Amino acid sequence: MSAFVTLATGQRMPMVGLGTWKSAPGQVQVKQAVLAALDCGYTHIDCAAAYGNEQEVGEALALRVGPGKALRRDQVFLTSKLWNTKHDPSDVEEACKTTLDHLGVSYLDLYLMHWPMAFQPGKELMPRREDGSVCYSNTHYKDTWAAMEELVDQGLVKAIGLSNFNARQTDNIISTARHKPVVNQVECHPYLSQVDLLAHCRSVAVCLTAYSPLGSGDRPWASADEPCLLQDHRLGEISKRCHKTPAQIILRWHIQRGVVCIPKSVTPSRIQQNLQVFDFTLSEQDMKLIDSFSCSKRFIVPTVERDGKRVWRDAAHPHFPFHDLY
């Protein structure tokens, strides 16, 4: 089993990377996490402008990557993402250059459009009206894509890709792209196994990366009545039988499906544990058992309360991706 996938560009992308969403910038959490990851063998870090911590990720990279350091720049696969308020084609280059500046590197290996939905341009991450609703913009993701293609032409990024795109939107981009998307990064874990989207992406040479691969137990809106993937008793049984932790079982399931995963942790022992998933194999029976957990449970859709009910916040956006089945 390879520890890498080869993208349509020929780039080798490590199958396990470190996620950095929610890894606090102020408490040097994210810096320590990235250092711990690089020191124990990770060569893939998943970042985003919207996580508000790219400068601290950059501080860690500066200590370990570059001339005279432990790793050469070309040995580390760095991903970042263009945020929704930067979709206007005239904003794309500056947004990318800000990320490069914060990370302290001259190029990214992969730059993703974080969501197909554009928000009103400006400095606010989440531009809102007085009533709390988010201000959208009409910019079409195909126009944003054309501006991202220029980043490849300029050598600022090696490849570009998508995140949170459904199959129809992915095809829509591919239909006119000069530089095809190499990755679609979407929520994927045993409760949302993305069988159809995975098959579709594969058929168009787009690699699927699983975000929230462990079920994002620390998502800010988690509520006590939602299932907790890592505590699923069926997983616990496989874990006992295989002498691996529940997290390792899930990550191994992703890898055996050929899906890249980017578990987030700020705990050094877990960071290390999450990379130790290449020395065992799940049986076909256990793979099928974990496949059977799927219940279309999305943990990562921003919701708001309306008339006493929790509803999808951006469902009215013309490019909201989750109305389609996949």
* Residue 42 designated active-site: no
Residues 21-50 binding ligand NAP (CB under 6 A) are: 21-22, 46
d(CA 124, CA 83): 11
Shortest distance (Å) from residue 268 CB to ligand NAP:
9
Number of neighbours of residue 324 by Cβ within 10 angstroms: 12
> Of 97-105, 214-222, 252-260, 282-290, which part binds ligand NAP (CB under 6 A)?
214-222
Residue 190 in the binding site for ligand NAP (CB under 6 A): no
According to the binding rule CB under 6 A, does residue 253 interact with ligand NAP? no
Q: Which residue has the tokens 């914060």?
A: 102
Contacts to ligand NAP from residues 270-309, by CB under 6 A: 270, 273-274, 300
- For tokens 């560009």, the residue is 9
Q: Which amino acid is at 293?
A: F
Report the alpha-carbon distance of residue 318 to residue 116 in Å, rounded: 10
Separation of alpha carbons 312 and 136, rounded Å: 15
Binding residue for ligand NAP, selected from 63, 152, 230, 289, defined by CB under 6 A: 230
C-alpha to C-alpha distances, 9 to 144, 250, 254, nearest whole angstrom: 20, 28, 22
Selected from 158, 264, 313, 317, the binder of ligand NAP by CB under 6 A is: 264
Give the closest residue to 71 by CA, choosing from 103, 40, 99. 40
Which residues ranging from 136 to 165 are in contact with ligand NAP (CB under 6 A)? Answer: 163-164
Nearer Cβ to ligand NAP (64/270): 270
Residue 172 touching ligand NAP (CB under 6 A): no
Please name the residue that has the structure tokens 């531009």: 127
In the complex, which residues of this chain contact ligand NAP (CB under 6 A)? 19-22, 46, 114, 163-164, 185, 211-219, 230, 245, 247, 262-267, 270, 273-274, 300
